[in-house]
Amino acid sequence: MAISNKIRGFMEKGSWIRKMFEEGIALKQQYGEENVFDLSLGNPVMNPPERFYTELKKISENPINGMHRYMPNAGLTETRSAVAKGLSNETGLSFTSNEIVMTCGAGGALNVVMKTLLDPGEEFVIFAPFFVEYNFYADNHGGSCKVVPPDEDFLPNMEIFRSSINSNTKGVLINSPNNPSGIVYADKTLSEICRIIKEKEVEFGTEIYLVSDEPYRKIIFDNLEYTHIFKYHDRSIVATSHSKDLALPGERIGYIAVNPSCPDIEELVNGLVFCNRTLGFVNAPALIQHLITHLQDTTIDVRVYEKKRDYLYKELTNMGYSLIKPQGAFYMFPKSPIKDDVQFSEELKENKVLVVPGRGFGLPGYFRISYCMEDATIQGSLEGLEKTISKYQ
C-alpha cells in the first residue's frame, strides 16, 4: 500500500471536482470536445488584463538585477507596500507592509494561517456550503473543521453557529463571495458573526480569530459594496489571491493581510512568516510579485462575469431550476430537483453537461455550476440542463 489510509479516505471524499474533470476528458474523447459542456471547474477561461502583459514585457526587457533570488520570507517589501496601499484605499484603514505576507495563492495563505494558529485538536468553524479543501487544510496542521449548516438563503444558521463554538475553537473561517453559492455577506451577517464570536470569547476566556478567505472579493455584481471584516473583529486576518481577480490561478500569487488593530500582531506576523518558510513555500514566486506590485488597482472586467450570470440565471429559472441569484464570484448553486444530487449530476452528465454535486461542498441536495467559461460552453449546456430537469416536471 503506497499511501496512508487517511489520505486514501480523503481522496475518496474530496475528489468530486477532479472526478468530474476526468470524466469530462473521457466524454470529450468519446463525443468530441464541442459536444461536451464542462461547467465543473473554477478555472477562468478569461485572460489576465492587458496591463499584466505590459508589465511582463517591461520586466523582461529591463530585468532587475537579482530579481530571481531568495528574498525575505514575507515577500518583497515594495510588493507588500503596494498591497498595503491598495488595501488602505479599499478599507479606509491604515495598512503598511508590516501587516502583509505574500503567499502562494489563497490556498497557500490559508495553510500558513492555520499552521500558525492551530494547536493539535483545535478547531476552525466553517459554514456550508464551503470550499472543499478547508477540511484538508485544517487536518494538515493537526486541526479540524466544524461545519455550520446554512439557512435556506445560504447564510449561516446563527443558532447552530453559536452552539458550534467551544473552548477548542481557534478560528472562524468565512468565504464571501462564496464558492459555490455566489452569496456575498452583508454588514448584518458579518456583525452578527462577530457578535457571537465576542460573546463566546468571553464565555470561554479564549481568543478566536476571524479568517476571511476572499479570492473573489473584487468579483461582485449589481454595484454591491464589499463589506470588509476588519472593523468587526480585531483578531481578523484576510487570506486572498489574484487567482480570480487578475485571472492568474496558475501563477500562485496571493497574500495574507492582518488587521492592523490585531492584538499581539508582531508575534502573529512573525509566526506567519516562519510558517510560510517552513511549509516549504519559502516565499511567494518572485517574478509575479514584481508584476502585481503594479497591478493593485487593476481587475479583470467583472462585467463579463456579470453578463454570464444574468444570462445563465435567467435561462435556468425559465427552465424551472430553483436557485438564489449569485451576487459575486462565478458560480451558481441550484437546488437539485431530486434529493440525490449525485444522481442528478450523473443524469446531467448523460446529457453531456458536467457539474459538481453539492455534497462536494458539504451541502447535498444542490449542485454547482461554474460559469467562468466561454459563452459557447454555457450556451451549449442549456439543452442538456433543460432535458435533464424536464424529466422531473
Ligand X SMILES: Cc1ncc(COP(=O)(O)O)c(C=O)c1O
The residues of the shown chain that bind ligand X, judged by CB under 6 A, are 42, 105-107, 131, 175, 179, 213, 215, 241, 243, 249, 254
CB-nearer residue toward ligand X: 105 or 326: 105
Q: Least distance (Å) from ligand X to the CB of residue 108?
A: 6
Q: Least distance (Å) from ligand X to the CB of residue 205?
A: 31
Q: Least distance (Å) from ligand X to the CB of residue 198?
A: 25
Q: Least distance (Å) from ligand X to the CB of residue 32?
A: 28
Q: What are phi and psi of 150, to 5 degrees?
A: -90, 165
Paired sense of beta strands 254-258 and 236-241, if any: antiparallel
CB-nearer residue toward ligand X: 32 or 280: 280
CB-nearer residue toward ligand X: 91 or 179: 179
Name the residue among 49, 131, 43 with its Cα closest to residue 377.
43
> In this structure, are residues 59 and 78 in contact, taking their beta carbons and an 8 Å threshold?
no
Residue matched to cell numbers 519559502: 282
Residue nearest ligand X, Cβ-based: 105
CB-nearer residue toward ligand X: 192 or 251: 251
CB-nearer residue toward ligand X: 95 or 361: 361
Cα(357)–Cα(253) distance, integer angstroms: 28
Cα(292)–Cα(242) distance, integer angstroms: 9
Cα(158)–Cα(386) distance, integer angstroms: 36
Contacts of 250 (CB under 8 A, 6+ apart): none
CB-nearer residue toward ligand X: 221 or 352: 221
Q: Least distance (Å) from ligand X to the CB of residue 204?
A: 28
Q: Least distance (Å) from ligand X to the CB of residue 76?
A: 18
Cα(327)–Cα(224) distance, integer angstroms: 8
* 325 burial type by CB count under 10 A (0-12 exposed, 13-18 middle, 19+ buried): middle
CB-nearer residue toward ligand X: 296 or 388: 296
> In this structure, are residues 269 and 80 in contact, taking their beta carbons and an 8 Å threshold?
no
Q: Least distance (Å) from ligand X to the CB of residue 249?
A: 5
